[in-house]
Amino acid sequence: MSTIANRYEFVLLFDVTNGNPNGDPDAGNLPRLDPETNQGLITDVCLKRKIRNYVALEKEHDAGYAIYMQEKSVLNNQHKKAYEALDIKPESKKLPKEAEKARQVTEWMCNNFFDVRTFGAVMTTEVNSGQVRGPVQVAFASSIDPVIPMEVSITRMAVTNEKDLEKERTMGRKHIIPYGLYRVHGYVSAKLAERTGFSEDDLALLWRSLINMFEHDRSAARGEMSTRKLVVFKHDHPMGNAPAHVLFDSVQVKRVEGTENTPARHYSDYQVHIASKSLPSGVTLEEHL
């Protein structure tokens, strides 16, 4: 399928209940926080990982949808696949001297790895496969309101050794957020898609990933995370018809009247208003969920 011909921006709203959406390894795995506002933070890397995981599940047996950045993968081995497929001998840290062969190596990586043609990748390692700037970018997510992490002790009924039978059964602690509604902005460039081959099928898969990625990411720390709304802005022109921040400002998330002074505990404590009637010319709106 041909590459996308339109620019897009999107706003994604998702929430967490009694979970840790993104632990901070520099803070004992506490949920990430903005230290000045106490709003919760989730990194772009965390969200991209969930998109990759969803694609890996849905497209497990489909050619062209392999995942480049996998857990414990050896990147040089990923790069070697391109050289082997094209019957080119790699030179240490260098792309092939012939420009056409160098282009073919990078193009092969884009064609075969979904996350390379979507998010881009710096593949200039010992086995050099070039550098790709991806058409899809995701910002940090932040919670609408400040969140207060809770520390919960956890125990177990069994012990490992007989000598520990009479010992305290406390195993450690986990950190949770009672409730948080998060907002993240994303961007899809049609002009950069031309360089990587990001297609209409890929775009549809991206939307499905954003809607369903938490459904296949359940764990003890993230048992209740859900996508609540995906708002997509589509531009008529590949270069865009309006600045992204103008479109993002048209989506307002506020507390339901009368609940402002109590802690939020459910998505129904918020209302989402989209100024759809005052969108700039050449921009259309799509709502999911």
Domain encompassing residue 31:
8-288
In-domain check, residue 175: yes
In-domain check, residue 178: yes
In-domain check, residue 1: no
pLDDT of residue 67: 97
- Are 11 and 188 contacting, i.e. CB atoms less than 8 angstroms apart? no
Q: State the total domains in the chain.
A: 1
- pLDDT tens track, the chain, 289 positions: 689 999 999 999 999 999 999 999 988 889 999 999 999 999 999 999 999 999 999 999 999 999 999 988 899 999 999 999 999 999 999 999 999 999 999 999 999 999 999 999 999 999 999 999 999 999 999 999 999 999 888 877 777 777 777 776 666 788 999 999 999 999 999 999 999 999 999 999 999 999 999 999 998 888 799 999 999 999 999 999 999 999 999 999 999 998 888 999 999 999 999 999 999 999 999 999 8
Task: At 195, list the tokens.
Answer: 């360089």
- Are 221 and 23 contacting, i.e. CB atoms less than 8 angstroms apart? yes
pLDDT of residue 215: 95
In-domain check, residue 35: yes
pLDDT of residue 1: 66
Could you tell me the pTM of the whole model? Answer: 0.92
List the beta strands (DSSP E) in the chain.
8-19, 23-24, 30-31, 39-42, 120-124, 128-133, 136-138, 141-146, 150-155, 170-188, 225-235, 251-255, 270-274, 283-288
In-domain check, residue 249: yes
